Amino acid sequence: MTDTMFLEPEHALLRDQIRRFVTADIQPHADAWEEEGRVPRDVLRRMGALGFFGIRYPDRYGGAEMDTRATAIWAEELGRSTFSGVAITALVHTDMASVHLFNAGTDAQRDRWMPGIVSGEVITAVGVTEPGAGSDVKAIRTTARRKGNDRFVLNGSKVFITNGVLGDLYCIAARTDPEAPPAKGVTMFLVEKGTPGFTVARQLDKHGWRSSDTAELHFDDCEIPAANILGQEGGGFYAIMRNFQNERIVLGAMAVGEAQAALDLTLDHVKSRKAFGGVLWDKQAIRQRLAMLQARVTAARHLVYATAMRDAQGEDVVKEVSMIKALCGELVNEVMYDCLQFHGGSGYMTGTPIERMTRDARVQAIGGGATEVMLEEVAKRM
């Protein structure tokens, strides 16, 4: 369904490989993972062994050195799986957490951690959001104070952290200079699971994304080496802002995949569901509504891949990425609403794909930048 003008042959091969994995290794088993509230580690290691966790990373770490378009394919195909909890578990690891280490880490930090990240032996999470901060990175209250020349002590909490229970390595944002302007007083740190003073306070129970673990994290006099700083001290705000662009392309592509899968399921349903002397597809209102939704999903997909191609070429795409996040997050919810409607009562029953997908999609207008925040970013650049 993607316009090939945006892709190279290797992208098509990647799509086929991911789609085969989804069909064989995710879809037959993921209902059980929904019940368990987690994706098994052996599944994540298999993703790593197949090269999916290293799509964008250098060969020296076991990666494939592909570009932003490959990331979009990875996210779209995981979205099409219909199990978005599985999708977000993998995507946070590959494109929202580990990228902080790769982009800002020292050679020593990368050499230590990147091979395990790419292989799936080390799962990553990122801790930015706090109970009182939400999307406002400048409002971070977790603190990191120096202790001597070679230690920092972290205190505070993070919430809504994907892979919070599952993770091995956490990229944590903390305020290192309370007197500095908000944009200059935040630093990113690497914190390993098991560090004294760092606890996973509780696993959170979510409306959707049930197979993705989400946790609240606490830091109580948690001491870490100064060598665990990611990038420059005080440079965390800009590191977070930098990665938001990649994150939002990923979430947009994932939403497009979710929406397309819902349309495909619904098209099959309405063409076979007997009603009023024919099938639902015979009803003009249903046909035309699905046709319009397909047109809009196709347009959104083209925006995603055109922007991914420009990003791969080093262009400034902040405006377009913000558009993608706002547009796709709202569109996938609109698609799910109508697709569930056209499934009728069966679509409202727990255990049906469209019911699960509708719950999963709701957060797409919230997580990674709420629609309202994204529209303000677009408006600033108009």
Mean pLDDT for 243-259 is: 95
**Structural domains in the chain plus CATH codes:** 4-123 (1.10.540.10), 125-234 (2.40.110.10), 238-380 (1.20.140.10)
- Report CA Rg, the chain: 21
- Report the percentage of the chain scoring pLDDT > 70: 98
- pLDDT tens, residue by residue, 25-57: 999 999 999 999 999 999 999 999 999 999 999
Mean pLDDT for 91-97 is: 96
Residue 54 DSSP class? G
Mean pLDDT for 136-150 is: 86
User: b/e map of 360-375 (b: 16 or more CB within 10 Å)?
Assistant: bbbbbbebbbbbebbb
| pLDDT confidence of residue 320 | 97
- pLDDT tens, residue by residue, 256-285: 999 999 999 999 999 988 878 888 889 999
Q: What's this model's pTM, rounded to 2 decimal places?
A: 0.93
Q: Which residues belong to the active site?
A: 247
| pLDDT confidence of residue 10 | 93
Secondary structure class of 255 (helix, strand, coil): helix
- Report the percentage of the chain scoring pLDDT > 90: 81
Contact 62, 136 (CB under 8 A): no
User: Which band of pLDDT confidence, cut at 50, 70 and 90, is reported for residue 95?
Assistant: very high
- Which residues does 15 contact at the CB level (< 8 Å), separation at least 6? 2, 73, 77
Mean pLDDT for 214-228 is: 95
- pLDDT tens, residue by residue, 272-324: 888 788 888 899 999 999 999 999 999 999 999 999 999 999 999 999 999 99
Q: Is the confidence at residue 135, as pLDDT, over 60?
A: no
More confident residue, 2 or 358: 358
287 phi, psi to nearest 5 deg:
-55, -45
At position 60, the amino acid (one-letter code) is R
At position 28, the amino acid (one-letter code) is P
Q: d(Cα 322, Cα 27) in Å, to the nearest integer?
A: 31
- pLDDT tens, residue by residue, 150-203: 999 999 999 999 999 999 999 999 999 988 887 889 999 999 999 999 999 888
279 alpha carbon, distance to own chain's centre: 38
Q: Is the confidence at residue 133, as pLDDT, over 70?
A: no
Contact 295, 229 (CB under 8 A): no
